[in-house]
């Protein structure tokens, strides 16, 4: 997959089969659209192209509302799209100026002149242009004028899958990792750098890696204990983790992500860990003391071992 962050560098050799979207999560609905794109491009001897935007349009248009958290970081999205087998990915810098162009300018000056689209494949609810004035019917009109084809993935096809990025975000925020993973078709992941913590886990036999999540827009699951697979130095380890404020040993309200790698020891400060969430074990609890906490962690470890077999 070739990646373009400057659209002027995009110069395909074959007919362009294009789909457009934010593609947060690359869930089953997105995957169906991408498979249709690849199939149609292959049958016509063309090239499959995805156009996406960074930052997410909602973050640009409504900067005062910081409630939107994303399933994928841009790096995670790129990795997922690369695995999907498309030919080209255009990452276009979304801005307020770009959001103000009219629907006809978007098609004429952007899709046609810049990308040279041959066939545009969109979801049934796709809208574009200033105030979202353009839709599939408008695209059909313009396709005759500018000599390109437009195809729509029907509501029936999309609704059969019954999934959306919003549903997945809700499931993650509710701690329903099993449901979120079913919607995604792969485990929800979170990546962070191991930073210095209070080292209380070491004193009770459960040393933890305190993760710093750099991307403030990355969604973090509901507070609680989870079973997960942890990738460290390109090796996967069984893990259990806690997301929360650690109320037993901490009087502050700051949320942390602390990971205990099962059957592992070593200095990993400064290294990167990627977590693939598998199941939520329990809610976060304030115990009466470290002994109660230690007993619960033993139970968590036993449960995680069974889940991750």
Alpha-carbon span 103 to 135, nearest angstrom: 9
pLDDT for 248 beyond 60: no
Q: What is the pLDDT of residue 132?
A: 81
Tokens 């139970």: give the residue: 299
State the pLDDT confidence band at 161, using cuts at 50, 70 and 90.
low
Q: What is the pLDDT of residue 200?
A: 67
pTM higher than 0.85: yes
Residue 265 CB neighbours (<10 A) = 7
The pLDDT tens digits of the residues spanning 210-238 come to 999 999 999 999 999 999 999 999 999 99
State the pLDDT confidence band at 97, using cuts at 50, 70 and 90.
very high
* Cα pseudo-dihedral 153, 155, 159, 165, rounded to 10: 70
pLDDT for 198 beyond 80: no
Q: What is the pLDDT of residue 156?
A: 46
Among the residue ranges 69-73, 122-126, 200-204, the one predicted with the least confidence is 200-204
Helices (H), the chain: 28-43, 57-61, 74-84, 96-99, 103-105, 136-146, 155-161, 165-173, 177-184, 200-203, 290-307
Mean pLDDT (the chain, rounded): 90
Give the angle subtended at the CA of 270 by the CAs of 266 and 272, to the nearest 5°: 85
- Answer yes or no: are the C-beta atoms of 288 and 227 closer than 8 Å: no
Q: What is the pLDDT of residue 43?
A: 96
The separation between CA 179 and the C-alpha centre of its own chain, rounded to angstroms, equals: 15
- Answer yes or no: are the C-beta atoms of 275 and 189 closer than 8 Å: yes
Alpha-carbon span 286 to 245, nearest angstrom: 10
In the chain, the domains with their CATH numbers are 2-163 (3.40.50.620), 173-307 (2.40.30.30)
């Amino acid at each position: 997959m070739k990646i373009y962050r400057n659209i002027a560098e995009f110069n395909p050799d074959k007919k362009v089969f294009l789909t457009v979207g934010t593609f947060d999560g690359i869930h089953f609905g997105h995957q169906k659209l991408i498979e249709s794109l690849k199939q149609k491009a292959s049958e016509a001897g063309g090239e499959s192209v995805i156009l996406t935007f960074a930052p997410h349009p909602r973050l640009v248009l409504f900067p005062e509302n910081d409630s939107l958290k994303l399933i994928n970081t841009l790096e995670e999205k790129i990795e997922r799209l690369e695995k999907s087998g498309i030919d080209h990915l255009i990452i276009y810098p979304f801005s307020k100026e770009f959001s103000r162009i009219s629907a006809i300018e978007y098609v004429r000056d952007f899709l046609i002149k810049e990308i040279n689209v041959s066939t545009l494949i969109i979801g049934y609810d796709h809208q574009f242009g200033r105030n979202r004035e353009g839709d599939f019917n408008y695209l059909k009109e313009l396709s005759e004028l500018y000599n390109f084809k437009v195809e729509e993935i029907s509501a029936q096809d999309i609704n059969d899958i019954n999934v959306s990025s919003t549903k997945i975000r809700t499931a993650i925020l509710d701690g329903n990792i099993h449901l979120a993973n079913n919607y995604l078709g792969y485990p929800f992941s979170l990546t962070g750098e191991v930073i210095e913590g209070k080292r209380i886990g070491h004193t009770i036999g459960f040393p933890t890696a305190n993760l710093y999540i750099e991307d403030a827009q990355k969604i973090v699951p509901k507070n609680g204990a989870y079973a997960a697979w942890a990738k460290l130095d390109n090796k996967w380890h069984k893990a259990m983790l806690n997301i929360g404020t650690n109320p037993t040993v901490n009087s502050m309200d700051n949320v942390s992500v602390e990971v205990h790698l099962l059957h592992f020891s070593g200095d990993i400060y400064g290294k990167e860990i990627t977590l693939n969430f598998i199941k939520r074990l329990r809610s976060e609890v304030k115990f009466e003391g470290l002994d109660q906490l230690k007993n619960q962690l033993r139970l968590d470890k036993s449960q995680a071992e069974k889940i991750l077999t």
